[in-house]
Amino acid sequence: MTNNGMTDNGMTDNGMTDNGITNSSMTNSTNSSASAASAVEVRGVGRIFTARKGPGVTALEDVSLVVAPGEFVSLIGPSGCGKSTLLRLIADLDTPTSGSIEVFGKPAKQARIDQDYGIAFQQAGLLPWRTVAGNIELPLELHGIGKAARRRRAAELIALVGLADFASHYPDQLSGGMQQRVAIARSLAESPSLLLMDEPFGALDEMTRERMQNELVRICAETEAAVVFVTHSIPEAVFLSNRVVVMSPRPGRIRSIVDVTLGEMAGRGEDLREDEGFFHALSQVRDLLHGDEAAAAPAGARGVETR
Amino acid sequence: MTSAHTTPSSGSRRMLGVSSRWRPLVFGVLGVFVLAVAWELYKFLGPADGIVIGTLTILPRTNDLAMPHLWVMFERIFEPVTGAASAEPLWQAVLAGSLFTLGIAAVGWLVGVTVGLALALLMQRFRLAESALLPWIILSQTVPLIAIAPLVRRWGAQIQFGEFTWESWMSVALIASYLAFFPVSIGALRGLGSPDANHVDLMHCYAVGWWKTLWRLRLPASVGYLLPALRLAAVSAVIGSVVAEVSIGLRGGIGRLIVEYAGAAGNDPGKPWAPIFGSILVGLVAAGFVGLIGLFLRRFRRGEVPV
């Protein structure tokens, strides 16, 4: 569960420390706290959306989750299970009604202000009037990083996501998959130690999707960032993750957490999809999700496995 | 021989190539042409007393006084204003009047755009301001121009501090701005609110304040809404200037010329048309100027889906 191989040596071979762009205080704080604190620590979190009439909607109830530094955790569940809400809470785009969330040992709000995480949404959300390079530079520009350093970092990231020939293209000239790659590059711009991804490949076709998953595995191995990844695709969750968090709806809860023991991030390739362990984890997650459906049916009692 | 043979074919190919670019222009010229033909055709075919149903004249008389030939109008433009020996050519007087009005309209436009943008920013920033101001902004346009012109003039006449004295043209410009601010405030308000929730969330994640969000996101996103509003404001400013010149009685502008020359229609039917063409010219120049602004802001209109 804890990713010893990644956290022990504390050394990074790419992007994190040698680019000279990350403002040093930020890097220090995340590095020093990374060894001490978990990347994300969610404790007893609930979120109730108040309605104008009648009782509010309980989107999340008593959710607790710890994500270790460098760990890849997927949140999976049917729509309405609060997986996106949980991600938004971690990103401090929303505040929990109860419980607490800490990111690298600080409150979520402070982590947001300190830019401890990068984020990517289902929609690439690129600014249409900026080129690929301009979009990737946006967070750097907003945080006052110099032009030369910005250029250098953007070029690095563009190479990382394999869009070297498209740096000066505008988003409307790119395919959906390319746009999403730009969005991922943008989320990596400030070398965050935590990536939050809300169904980033949800709008892509199956083939592009698998290619993007392979790339994300490679990128994660290179950057050694912890990832919280929201998805509704079981193979995607299993392929990418160290752990898969299966959630159930109404109210949103963590149903179970599946350990995926498929080895190091760096070693994961296309042939993993044919692996025995892959299928085992796949069916494990699927059973948990389907058991949830049965539980939601009026006849079945909650939490009873029906198969 | 061969060169003479190839030139027309390559020329026609180029014609086909650029046809989409020049199509608006071609159709514009065609529209004016159709209008001219319709005028002359009706004048030729229509009864001299016009088409009358009962005592109601549905279509105008076709005699030379009511509907002078187009060439009479154009010939008149190049003749002197009056029979006096020292009189300047009519076109010169109209051009001078047009420039005078254009200048006032430009001042009115600038003031209107500034006020409109300021109101839109205020309303975007504070919800309360929106609910407090928006109804009044809409209500402001229901007050007839003729009603406020004398008021503005009377108030203006009382303004005097130090070297500064309020002049009549300022009243006209103020009334022009009164018309011009409206489309800008409405268009800008919509434009500033147009970014996706996605983009707003992203800015929130970047922990940037309202001003940076405004500059990097809301203003660029509003360009597509702002340009039509600016064009509408430019045309409104011209109309406002012309009408206000008439109701305030300011000399030197196109509005005054329209009133003045209308008196000559009895024995010089071509003359009143000259300032009308002048005001059309002013409107075209004003709209063209905004088109030029749009050309510089083309980058920010990439997101617009061509319909």
How many domains is chain B partitioned into structurally? 2
Instruction: Please report the pLDDT score of residue B35 as a whole number.
Output: 92
Direct distance between the N- and C-terminal alpha carbons of chain B, in angstroms, rounded to an integer: 46
For residues B150 and B231, state if they share a domain: yes
B219 — contact with chain A (CB < 8 Å)? no
Which sign does the torsion angle of CA A10, A2, A242, A26 carry? negative
Quick one: A42 exposed, middle or buried, by C-beta within 10 A (0-12, 13-18, 19+)?
Answer: buried
Determine the Cα–Cα distance for residues B210 and A217; give it in Å rounded to an integer.
Answer: 36
Q: Chain centroid to CA A92: how far?
A: 14
Higher pLDDT, A249 or B132: B132
Q: A111-115, B50-54, B147-151: which has the minimum mean pLDDT?
A: B50-54
Quick one: A287 exposed, middle or buried, by C-beta within 10 A (0-12, 13-18, 19+)?
Answer: middle
pLDDT tens per residue across span B167-188: 888 889 999 999 999 999 999 9
Q: Which residues pair with B282 in a beta bridge?
A: none
B297 — contact with chain A (CB < 8 Å)? no
B155 has a pLDDT exceeding 50: yes
For residues B27 and B141, state if they share a domain: no
Instruction: Please report the pLDDT score of residue B8 as a whole number.
Output: 44
Which residue of chain A is at minimal alpha-carbon distance from B300?
A129
pLDDT tens per residue across span A97-148: 888 888 888 888 888 888 888 898 888 889 888 999 999 999 998 888 888 8
What percentage of chain B carries pLDDT values higher than 70?
Answer: 92
For residues B50 and B98, state if they share a domain: no
Chain A closest-CA separation from residue B193 CA (Å) = 15
For residues B240 and B176, state if they share a domain: yes
For residues B28 and B113, state if they share a domain: no
Higher pLDDT, B7 or B280: B280
Average pLDDT over residues B7-28: 63
Task: Say if the Cβ atoms of B207 and A128 lie within 8 Å.
Answer: no
Helix/strand/coil (H, E, C) string of A255-291? Answer: EEEEECCCCCHHHCCHHHHHCHHHHHHHHHHHHHHHH
B297 has a pLDDT exceeding 50: yes
Instruction: Please report the pLDDT score of residue B289 as a whole number.
Output: 92
List of domains in chain A: 36-116+199-297 (3.40.50.300), 126-191 (no CATH)
Q: Work out how many CB contacts closer than 8 A connect A with B.
A: 49
For residues B141 and B244, state if they share a domain: yes
For residues B37 and B106, state if they share a domain: no
Task: Say if the Cβ atoms of A129 and B206 lie within 8 Å.
Answer: no
For residues B59 and B133, state if they share a domain: no
Question: Has residue B283 been placed in a domain?
Answer: yes
Task: Say if the Cβ atoms of B206 and A142 lie within 8 Å.
Answer: yes
What percentage of chain B carries pLDDT values higher than 90?
Answer: 30
Residues of A in contact with B206 (CB under 8 A): 115, 138-139, 142-143
Which residue of chain A is at minimal alpha-carbon distance from B222?
A129
**Closest in B196, B205, B217 to A119, CB measured:** B205
Instruction: Please report the pLDDT score of residue B112 as a whole number.
Output: 94
Interface residues from chain A to B (CB-CB < 8 Å)? 91-93, 112-113, 115, 117, 119, 121, 123, 125, 127-129, 138-139, 141-143, 170-172
Q: Is the peptide bond prior to A251 cis by the omega test (within 30 degrees of 0)?
A: yes
For residues B198 and B244, state if they share a domain: yes
pLDDT band at B68 (very low <50, low <70, confident <90, very high): confident
Q: Chain centroid to CA B64: how far?
A: 30
Indicate the residue among B67, B101, B116 that finishes a domain: B67
Instruction: Please report the pLDDT score of residue B238 as a whole number.
Output: 93
A191: region left, alpha or beta (phi > 0 left; psi from -120 to 50 alpha): left
Q: What is the pLDDT along chain A (307 residues), one digit of tens a residue?
A: 444 434 334 343 443 344 434 443 444 444 444 445 788 888 888 888 887 777 778 788 888 888 888 888 989 888 878 888 888 898 888 888 888 888 888 888 888 888 888 898 888 889 888 999 999 999 998 888 888 888 988 888 888 888 888 888 888 888 888 888 899 889 888 888 888 999 888 877 888 788 888 888 888 888 888 899 998 888 888 888 888 888 888 788 888 887 777 666 656 666 666 677 777 777 777 878 777 554 444 443 444 333 3
Tell which of A23, A142, A187 to mutate to test the B interface (max B CBs under 10 Å).
A142
Question: Has residue B297 been placed in a domain?
Answer: yes
For residues B185 and B255, state if they share a domain: yes
Instruction: Please report the pLDDT score of residue B162 as a whole number.
Output: 76
B5 — contact with chain A (CB < 8 Å)? no
Residues of B in contact with A90 (CB under 8 A): none
Say which residues have a Cβ less than 8 Å from residue A230's Cβ, sequence separation at least 6.
A74, A75, A76, A83, A84, A86, A87, A197, A198, A199
Task: Say if the Cβ atoms of B198 and A139 lie within 8 Å.
Answer: no
Q: Chain centroid to CA B33: how far?
A: 21
Average pLDDT over residues B121-147: 88
Residues of B in contact with A123 (CB under 8 A): 196, 198
DSSP tag of B214: I
Question: Has residue B118 been placed in a domain?
Answer: yes
Task: Say if the Cβ atoms of B300 and A93 lie within 8 Å.
Answer: no
B202 has a pLDDT exceeding 80: yes
Question: Has residue B78 been placed in a domain?
Answer: no
Q: Which of B221, B218, B228 is nearest to B293 (CA)?
A: B228
For residues B232 and B131, state if they share a domain: yes
Task: Say if the Cβ atoms of B206 and A113 lie within 8 Å.
Answer: no
pLDDT tens per residue across span B210-259: 888 888 899 998 988 999 999 999 999 999 999 999 888 888 889 888 98
Question: Has residue B75 been placed in a domain?
Answer: no
Question: Has residue B79 been placed in a domain?
Answer: no
Question: Has residue B293 been placed in a domain?
Answer: yes
Average pLDDT of chain B? 84
B64 — contact with chain A (CB < 8 Å)? no
- CATH number, domain with residue B246: 1.10.3720.10
Instruction: Please report the pLDDT score of residue A110 as a whole number.
Output: 83
**ipTM over 0.85 threshold:** no
Residues of A in contact with B199 (CB under 8 A): 125, 127
Q: Which domain holds residue B53?
A: 2-67
Question: Has residue B84 been placed in a domain?
Answer: no
Instruction: Please report the pLDDT score of residue A12 as a whole number.
Output: 39
For residues B48 and B142, state if they share a domain: no
Task: Say if the Cβ atoms of B198 and A125 lie within 8 Å.
Answer: yes
